[in-house]
Amino acid sequence: MRGQALAPLLNNSLDQSHGERMQKYRAQSIKKHGRNLSLFVTSSFFPSVSLTGSRCELNCKHCEGRLLSRLIPTESPERLEEVARRIARGGAIGMLVTGGCDANGKVPTATVAESIRRIKQETDLIIIAHTGFITPDEACALADSGLDGIAFDVVGDAGTIQRVYGINANREDYTSHRHNLSFFKPLKP
């Protein structure tokens, strides 16, 4: 019933191809995982780690790098693995792997795919990654790592994207599976 109510909303708020694609992926997800939705709140049991320390080239208006300074710094793959083993021994159930963005809106999560694979082999941690924009190859590398989920920004207005994130992107760039970063030009000098 809820899916039937959702379809008109999606189709009216997005162009037809996006609405159809979202419905297709929703149906695939329900078939594979059921109707359960897992939410993870960062805490001592599910800490956030930053692959870039407190650095972020975008310096977005909603954060200005302040949120990153509160995260556990893991600026190398070895440090990420060390922190993961430590928090697993301490009773954590998972972690969010994130960090600052480069000028194109990309968090370097794909660069630690092998570390994520090792962490998943050595621990029972649930690992969610915040990626920003990624390429299909990077998405495949992360999927192959055993990653449990992706956290992503949902932005539907080009004005918001430009004002808050400072990048020249649009709604389709966020919903398309063809993220070619060469099309993005930073708005900030």
CA distances from 94 to 124, 157, 165, 172 (A): 8, 32, 28, 31
Mean pLDDT for the stretch of residues 26-41 = 71
Q: Is the pLDDT of residue 152 over 60?
A: yes
Tens-place pLDDT, residues 2-30: 444 444 444 444 455 656 766 776 777 67
DSSP state of 133: S
Closest CA to 174 of 184, 186, 189: 184
The pLDDT-based confidence of 58 (bands split at 50, 70, 90) is confident
3-state secondary structure of 129: strand
pTM: 0.72
Tens-place pLDDT, residues 77-96: 999 999 999 999 999 999 99
- CA angle centred on 87, ends 89 and 117, rounded to 5°: 95
pLDDT at residue number 16: 59
pLDDT at residue number 164: 75
DSSP state of 164: I
Report the 3 state secondary structure along 34-90.
CCCCCCCCCECCECEEECCCCCCCCCCCCCCCCCHHHCEECCCHHHHHHHHHHHHHC
Set out the domains of the chain in order of their start, with CATH numbers.
Answer: 1-37 (no CATH), 39-183 (3.20.20.70)
As given in the structure block, the two tokens for residue 59 are: 């310096």
3-state secondary structure of 106: strand
Contacts of 152 (CB under 8 A, 6+ apart): 130, 131, 132
